[in-house]
């Protein structure tokens, strides 16, 4: 649920993101979080899926994980977030704790490729919001951890169409998948693994 603790943390992170953008900080020094509308969209996807086990690739400071963790609390699910930057991992943990979501969300520090390689299958959904050049390889690794009906949501497919246009085209051309580009905020590619 979106209680006061959750909404307070979300508001603080949104304010910090706006300030970083206004200051002209480069992406490498910003939180690089999803927009609030995308956060609500992700919340809806996870909250409506009972027991949803979600893998987040690219946790940053935990903004999307707060939305996802709040949704997992509603659905009785869980969120496992991967983040390589140690400082962002600490911020992630602090924000999840402040939101009261430690029971439903946890972060694994380190390289996503190595971390995914150690994970067993059994996830219901994957959210990819990482380095754009890595999406294709991350999708292939993540897909192996999903069963039939598994969902992959990839962010930034319209804001970075030069890099990610091929990602969306490949998903939509694959007969073993059903995929659609959703023109919400920076663009989301929603891909379902068919039976």
Question: What are the chain's domains?
Answer: 4-150 (3.40.50.150)
Contact 69, 51 (CB under 8 A): no
Largest Cα separation within the chain, whole Å, is 48
Give the neighbor-by-neighbor strand order of the sheet with 53-57: 105-109, 78-83, 53-57, 123-128, 146-155, 188-193, 177-182
pTM: 0.95
pLDDT computed for residue 159 by the predictor: 97
pLDDT computed for residue 187 by the predictor: 98
Q: Which are the contacts of 120, defined by CB distance < 8 A and separation ≥ 6?
A: 145
Q: What is the pLDDT of residues 133-189, one digit of tens each?
A: 999 999 999 999 998 899 999 999 999 999 999 999 999 999 999 999 999 999 999
Q: What is the pLDDT of residues 97-144, one digit of tens each?
A: 999 999 999 999 999 999 999 999 999 999 999 999 999 999 999 999
Question: From CA 12, how far away is CA 5, in angstroms rounded?
Answer: 11
pLDDT computed for residue 94 by the predictor: 98
**Is residue 78 helix, strand or coil?**
strand
């Amino acid at each position: 649920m979106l209680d006061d603790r959750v909404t307070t943390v979300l508001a603080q992170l949104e304010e910090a993101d706006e300030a970083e953008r206004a200051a002209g900080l480069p992406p490498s020094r910003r939180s690089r979080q999803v927009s609030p509308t995308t956060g609500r969209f992700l919340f809806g996807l996870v909250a409506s899926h009972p027991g949803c086990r979600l893998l987040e690739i690219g946790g940053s400071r935990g903004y999307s994980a707060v939305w996802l963790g709040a949704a997992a609390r509603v659905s009785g699910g869980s969120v496992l977030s991967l983040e390589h930057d140690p400082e962002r991992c600490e911020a992630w943990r602090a924000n999840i704790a402040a939101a009261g979501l430690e029971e439903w969300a946890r972060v694994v520090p380190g390289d996503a490729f190595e971390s995914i390689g150690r994970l067993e299958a059994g996830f219901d959904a994957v959210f990819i919001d990482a380095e754009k050049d890595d999406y294709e390889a991350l999708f292939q690794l993540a897909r192996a951890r999903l069963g039939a009906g598994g969902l992959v949501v990839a962010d930034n497919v319209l804001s970075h169409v030069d890099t990610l246009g091929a990602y969306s085209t490949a998903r939509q051309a694959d007969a073993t998948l059903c995929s659609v580009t959703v023109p919400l905020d920076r663009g989301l590619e929603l891909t379902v693994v068919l039976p």
